[in-house]
Amino acid sequence: MNKLIHTDICVIGAGSGGLSVAAGASQMGADVVLIEKSEMGGDCLNTGCVPSKAILAAAEKAQAFREAGSFGVQSIEPNVDWAAVNKHVHDVIAAIAPNDSVERFEGLGVQVIQAAARFIDANTVEAGDRQVRAKYFVLATGSSAFVPPIEGLDQISYFTNENIFSNREPVDHLVVIGGGPIGMELAQAHRRLGAKVTVMEVARLLMKDDPDLTSIVIDSLRKEGVAFYEGGRNLRIEKRDAGFSVRCEMDEGKACVEGSHLLVATGRRANVDGLNLEAAGITFSPRGVEVDSRLRTSNRRIFAIGDVAGPYQFTHMAAYQAGIVIRNMLFKLPAKVDYSAVPWVTYTDPELAHVGMSEADAKTAGKSVRVLKWSFAENDRAQAERRTEGLIKVITESNGRILGASIVGLHAGELIQPWILAISQKMKTGAMAGMIAPYPTLAEVNKRIAGSFYTDKLFSEGTKKLVRFLMRFS
């Protein structure tokens, strides 16, 4: 007979969201059980955010050798040791892993069970040889790579983000199916590490972001040698002696690309299989678990956060949602999520960052908007770095209230952060325009674009007449 454990909170899934709930709740005095069937740290640590940024960092170093000539330093083609790059990636994972380890969480007072969990009724789960009955449950099971039904795919070996970081061998020609953030980041990383790379996307590349900015990213990758097929239909794969070919139909005719390695980066699917959610009375679909604004499922004693709950599948959103859930469970506060200032970053080079409403969003919502744009070419630090291929675009209401911001350029993920604060606090452009920005920094683009909101009025004929009038009395 299975051992029965009674606890305050049972968290299922040890990714970013689950770990945040478990650590926070335990340190605040709750009795917590954490169940994880795979690796501690989840997708982000082991197969997602961390390894992808580590390989991008290696690729950036390789690219620096090629681009040194413009600074008066001799350019050379780098010699890439793929096995050493792989070691670098896994060294980074190993350096962070202790923060997410079983030992650390047991030290915090969390009881960790390493087994698959499944509900057996509305307030009990079974995991290995134990049953856990809790006052509250938190589903934080994350998501997995979604692989669409592509003809011929089952005839070849292929990568997803879940196994590509295990590769230690040189890649000759990487074909990427999927032009979203994961596909584009890994495409550029492999191109910079010496592989030939082709990206095939059935819709639009980086389709969730503003085309004014994504075009700059796409042009940059194209200049580095990445080939793109956008809007392809009816993909099919044929096995070849030395690899494979991917065929598709384009508006201008048929296309065929031969490659040595294939990466399928076509999105994510919520991890709901095997949980027996029906037994707990939880409403769900292949897209994930349905939750209300307090992140409660249809079983009000069970919450869901992170990728399994959506609508934003980002590590930082899982951590944010963890705080909402803790306030509801521990302090009985009716805390609700606020998605008005959700940021995201695509870590290509140049980076692409966004928060709040896009221009299209604002117009669809019936807002009276002003659209501000400022080029990195007008920033002195960007000129010194020879990184002028950037643009910041800010959407405001007619009174100056900031609705959204998008940035493409060097360190866009860092530059977006003041706009996150501004939108979350319902600030106006005057607050950003009035700050003192150190010179010369890339962050001056934030002050300059905010100031441009007032340019027309400040330098108008009316202002000139007023100044000339006032100068008479000096």
Q: What is the pLDDT averaged over residues 239-266? A: 92
Residue 94 in any domain: the answer is no
Cis peptide before 440 (omega within 30 of 0): yes
Give pLDDT, residue 250: 86
Residue 84 in any domain: the answer is no
Q: How far apart are CA 375 and CA 427, in angstroms?
A: 23
Q: How far apart are CA 143 and CA 310, in angstroms?
A: 10
- Per-residue pLDDT tens for 221-238? 999 999 999 998 899 999
pLDDT above 90 (res 319): yes
pLDDT confidence tier of residue 86, bands split at 50, 70 and 90: very high
Cβ contact 139:15 at 8 Å: no
Give pLDDT, residue 1: 61
The kind and range of the H/E element at 145 are: strand 143-145
Please state the domain count of the chain. Answer: 3
Cα separations in angstroms, 263 against 165, 174, 192, 199, 255: 11, 7, 16, 9, 18
User: Where do runs of H (alpha helix) occur along 74-143?
Assistant: 82-96, 102-107
- Per-residue pLDDT tens for 173-219? 999 999 999 999 999 999 999 999 999 999 999 999 999 999 999 99
User: Are 447 and 309 members of one domain?
Assistant: no
Cβ contact 162:47 at 8 Å: yes
User: Are 256 and 273 members of one domain?
Assistant: no
Structure tokens of 393? Answer: 């675009």
Show which of 213, 238, 267 is a domain's final residue.
267
Show which of 267, 282, 304 is a domain's final residue.
267
Question: 105 in helix, strand or coil?
Answer: helix
Give pLDDT, residue 317: 96
User: Are 137 and 11 members of one domain?
Assistant: yes
Q: Domain span at residue 406? A: 343-458
Q: SS3 helix, strand, coil % of the chain, rounded to 5?
A: 35, 25, 35
User: Are 201 and 260 members of one domain?
Assistant: yes
pLDDT above 70 (res 401): yes
Q: What is the mean pLDDT of the chain?
A: 96
User: Are 367 and 447 members of one domain?
Assistant: yes
User: Are 262 and 274 members of one domain?
Assistant: no
User: Are 180 and 34 members of one domain?
Assistant: no
| Distance between start and end Cα atoms, the chain | 94
User: Are 278 and 419 members of one domain?
Assistant: no
pLDDT above 90 (res 19): yes
Cα separations in angstroms, 14 against 9, 126, 135, 208, 295: 14, 16, 19, 28, 18
User: Are 320 and 190 members of one domain?
Assistant: no
pLDDT above 70 (res 362): yes
CATH number assigned to the domain comprising residue 123 = 3.50.50.60
User: Are 108 and 157 members of one domain?
Assistant: no
pTM above 0.85, yes or no: yes
Q: What is the pLDDT averaged over residues 286-301? A: 96
pLDDT above 90 (res 82): yes
- Per-residue pLDDT tens for 30-48? 999 999 999 999 999 999 9
Cβ contact 349:224 at 8 Å: no
Q: How far apart are CA 296 and CA 38, in angstroms?
A: 25
User: Are 202 and 308 members of one domain?
Assistant: no
Q: How far is CA 339 from the centre of its chain?
A: 15
Residue type, 69: G
Give pLDDT, residue 232: 87
User: Are 127 and 275 members of one domain?
Assistant: yes
pLDDT confidence tier of residue 440, bands split at 50, 70 and 90: very high
The residues that bridge with 369 in the sheet, in sequence order, are 397
